[in-house]
Amino acid sequence: MKSKAIKESNGDRLFNIVVNTTLFLFTVSVLYPLVFIVSASISSPESVMSGKVWLWPVDFSLEGYQAVFKHKLIGTSFVNSLFYTGVGTAINVVFTLMAAYPLSRKDFYIRNWIMALLVFTMLFSGGLIPSYLLVKDLGLLNTRWALLLPGAIGVWNVIIARTYFRTTFPDELLEAAQIDGCSDFMFVRRIVLPLSGPIIAVTTLFYAVGHWNSFFNAMLYLKDQSMYPLQLVLREILVQNQVDSSMIVDVEEAMAREGLRELLKYSLIVVSTFPVLIIYPFIQKHFVKGMMIGSLKG
Amino acid sequence: MDMSRERHHVDLTTSKSGNALLRSMKKGWQLYVLMLLPVLYIVIFKYVPMYGALIAFKNFVPTKGIIGSEWVGLKYFQRFFESYEFWRIMKNTIWLSLYQLLVGFPFPILLALCLNYVKHAFFKKSVQMITYAPHFISVVVMVGIIFQVLDPRTGVVNSILQFMGMEPINFLGNPGYFTSIYVWSGLWQNVGFSCIIYLAALSSIDPSLHEAAVMDGASKARRMMHIDLPGILPIAVILLILDTGRILDTGFEKVLLMQNPLNLNVSEVIDTYVYKVGLASTVINYSYSTAIGLFKSVISLVLLLFVNRLSKKVGQEGLW
């Protein structure tokens, strides 16, 4: 760090070795399963079954991926998930900003009451069954709305956005605009939104990853397979080990071989995580930023 | 405290009569319009279910509705406390949370402390990038990975065990391994992401402390022990206290996915039990399930209020 000019003592050199070794071990143990899965997904079914794959791919083959793309349910559910993620996130972000902006304003008279109303939902909830009955009573059961509406606002994200608004837009700016006859709507449209890129990015990412990865609401509320999101299909294949061979168009005989089934799982893990991991390097710093904003107490 | 500020904003020409709320609503009505939909949403989707939780005290029959169903008092709570499942479920829930806390608490701190002393920017970035990544894997895929890697016949862990001349172990069939698999895979997934908050705390430590320590000939190990560790202690204490308050909240989805008939004896926790009684059993009992859920929510709320007060008592900031 700062001590570059000073020659390092033996103790410090030992310290560096310990630190770097620890980090190296951490990193390798996190990385290894990931590398193994990717390697297994591009190996041949036989080598996966016989346990020959342990780090690098053995007998390169794309059979697993072919099986994934031939699986009808995976294709439709992938599209469904894109829909839920896109529309759901849009609803989330709009609602969150709508809630967060007034709460950031000191002259919003009832803000403390509303805040209490929101925060209380983080501490206490009616529970699973009453929520289920509500969705049922609203007639949302087995509709796509059931995955979009419950959970439309994450209170945590509202708090993050509110903190951002508060620290970004000083009272003086608002007062100056108001003197010039700017209404609140206009202020939001012309000044707040254009300057809120970072916070919109952060909340979008938090919500989008949440939508893409969620399965439980779908399991609870959907009956119709044609509306299933990807994660629910993944659950059937990866967790419950149900590979319905009728879903696979022309590799039925091949599916008889268990090897391909295992291979399909590895490929499926890669395919389903791909959309998140491909944008991950770009969004990583935003997530970190979001965590930081969130950790500032509003 | 808001009043003085409020006065400041209010147009001086408006009459001083009428209460402050009305005046503020008149002036800032557009803010209220913005807030309308979110509040409506919160009331419908968060507070209506709280009202719906009343069915825990009733013998709920869907055709009669919440109001029409007859009161039964604490019958369902009593039934839960007296059932032979009660102690097993409580024990499983608390043990799983405690184990998770014991493992999940120290490692992110260790990782953050180490990362803080890495000079090499590329190495540091790579470690962060790689250790954060598993956080974004979905719970279904995570459990899928666990199942694949630990599979008794095709899993890589058993291949390695056999390669080293050991007997393969049926990790998933043996209930004794369930808790450990759950906790350590959770660490694998979240250690990187959890260390972010400690890194933030470390970066806010006054560098002059380090400079002074270097001047006085303090070694790096000593600086870590006497500057960095105390520096992140406040945030660590807050997180620890809050986690203790959430002791009844287990990673419900992951537990549910990892359950199988063999490990049910150790893997049944409150949340999964609520789900099974209420929605996944052949004899669905909404009221009983709601009562168990409500029991958990109330205990959690009380615990959180308590630990928040405790946190303030020991001189730390609370949640609110």
Tens of pLDDT along A26-53? 899 999 999 988 888 888 877 777 777 7
Q: If pLDDT is split at 50, 70 and 90, which confidence band does B72 have?
A: confident
Contacts with A238 from chain B: Cβ below 8 Å: 140-141, 143-144, 147-148
Tens of pLDDT along A198-253? 888 888 888 998 999 999 999 999 998 899 999 999 898 888 876 554 455 555 55
Q: Chain A closest CA to B246's CA: distance in Å? A: 10
**pLDDT at A294 (0 to 100):** 57
Tens of pLDDT along A55-77? 888 888 888 888 888 888 888 99
Closest to A239 (Cβ–Cβ): which among B49, B147, B221?
B147
Q: From CA A51, how far away is CA A68, in angstroms rounded?
A: 21
**pLDDT at B169 (0 to 100):** 85
Identify whether the C-beta of residue A133 lies closer than 8 Å to the C-beta of residue B52: yes
Closest-CA residue to A295 (of A99, A121, A151, A160) = A160
- Interchain CB distance below 8 Å, B34 and A101: yes
**pLDDT at B5 (0 to 100):** 46
Query: Which of B14, B153, B156 has the most A C-beta neighbours within 10 Å, making it the best mutation to test the interface with A?
Result: B156
**pLDDT at A81 (0 to 100):** 93
**pLDDT at B106 (0 to 100):** 93
Q: If pLDDT is split at 50, 70 and 90, which confidence band does B3 have?
A: very low
**pLDDT at A98 (0 to 100):** 94
Domains in chain B with CATH codes: 2-71 (no CATH), 84-313 (1.10.3720.10)
Q: Chain B closest CA to A185's CA: distance in Å? A: 6
Rounded to an integer, the average pLDDT of B41-64 is 90
Contacts with A183 from chain B: Cβ below 8 Å: 30
pTM across the whole model:
0.85
Residue B130: C-alpha distances to residues A27, A205, B133, B135, B305 (Å): 7, 19, 5, 10, 36
- Interchain CB distance below 8 Å, A98 and B35: yes
Tens of pLDDT along B107-136? 999 999 999 888 888 998 889 888 888 988
- Interchain CB distance below 8 Å, B50 and A124: yes
Token pair 């993620």 in the structure block, residue: A85
Contacts with B257 from chain A: Cβ below 8 Å: 235, 239
Identify whether the C-beta of residue B80 lies closer than 8 Å to the C-beta of residue A159: no
- According to DSSP, residue B56 is labeled G
**pLDDT at A221 (0 to 100):** 92
Tens of pLDDT along A268-289? 899 888 888 777 777 777 766 6
Query: Which of A109, A202, A215 has the most B C-beta neighbours within 10 Å, making it the best mutation to test the interface with B?
Result: A109
Rounded to an integer, the average pLDDT of B61-75 is 85
Contacts with B214 from chain A: Cβ below 8 Å: 2-3, 6
Tens of pLDDT along B274-283? 998 888 877 7
- Interchain CB distance below 8 Å, B188 and A125: no
Q: Is the pLDDT of residue A3 over 70?
A: no
- According to DSSP, residue A71 is labeled B
Identify the closest residue of chain A to B4 by CA–CA distance: A107
Closest to B139 (Cβ–Cβ): which among A96, A213, A269?
A213
Closest-CA residue to B117 (of A104, A109, A8) = A8
Q: Is the pLDDT of residue B45 over 90?
A: yes
Contacts with A6 from chain B: Cβ below 8 Å: 214
- Interchain CB distance below 8 Å, B52 and A130: yes
Query: Which of B46, B139, B205 has the most A C-beta neighbours within 10 Å, making it the best mutation to test the interface with A?
Result: B46
**pLDDT at A293 (0 to 100):** 63
Q: Is the pLDDT of residue B26 over 70?
A: yes
Query: What's the mean per-residue pLDDT of chain A?
Result: 84
Higher pLDDT, B259 or B248: B259
A222–B contact, CB cutoff 8 A: no
Closest-CA residue to A211 (of A77, A81, A73, A76) = A81
Which of A:56-85 have CB within 8 Å of B? none
Pairing of strands B58-59, B70-71: antiparallel
Q: Identify the three-state secondary structure at position A248.
A: strand
Query: Which of A129, A148, A188 has the most B C-beta neighbours within 10 Å, making it the best mutation to test the interface with B?
Result: A129
Tens of pLDDT along A84-125? 999 999 999 999 999 999 999 888 888 899 999 998 988 888
Which of A:123-162 have CB within 8 Å of B? 123-134, 149-153, 158
Residue B44: C-alpha distances to residues A92, A181, B96 (Å): 16, 36, 33
Q: Is the pLDDT of residue B2 over 50?
A: no
Q: Identify the three-state secondary structure at position B17.
A: coil
- Interchain CB distance below 8 Å, A23 and B220: no
A297–B contact, CB cutoff 8 A: yes
Rounded to an integer, the average pLDDT of B81-97 is 91
Domains in chain A with CATH codes: 2-69+248-295 (no CATH), 72-227 (1.10.3720.10)
Contacts with B32 from chain A: Cβ below 8 Å: 102
**pLDDT at A153 (0 to 100):** 92
**pLDDT at A291 (0 to 100):** 64
Q: If pLDDT is split at 50, 70 and 90, which confidence band does B6 have?
A: very low
Which two three-digit tokens encode residue A162?
């509110």
Count Cβ–Cβ pairs < 8 Å, chain A vs chain B.
286
**pLDDT at B184 (0 to 100):** 94
Tens of pLDDT along A125-161? 888 999 999 999 999 999 999 999 998 998 888 988 9
Q: Is the pLDDT of residue B37 over 50?
A: yes
Closest to A124 (Cβ–Cβ): which among B128, B139, B297?
B297
Identify the closest residue of chain A to B189 by CA–CA distance: A30
A288–B contact, CB cutoff 8 A: yes
How many C-beta atoms lie closer than 10 Å to residue B299's C-beta?
14
Contacts with A45 from chain B: Cβ below 8 Å: none
Q: Chain A closest CA to B5's CA: distance in Å? A: 7
Instruction: Name residues whose C-beta falls within 8 Å of residue A198's C-beta, 6 or more positions apart in sequence.
Output: A164, A286, A289
**pLDDT at A6 (0 to 100):** 56
ipTM of the complex: 0.85
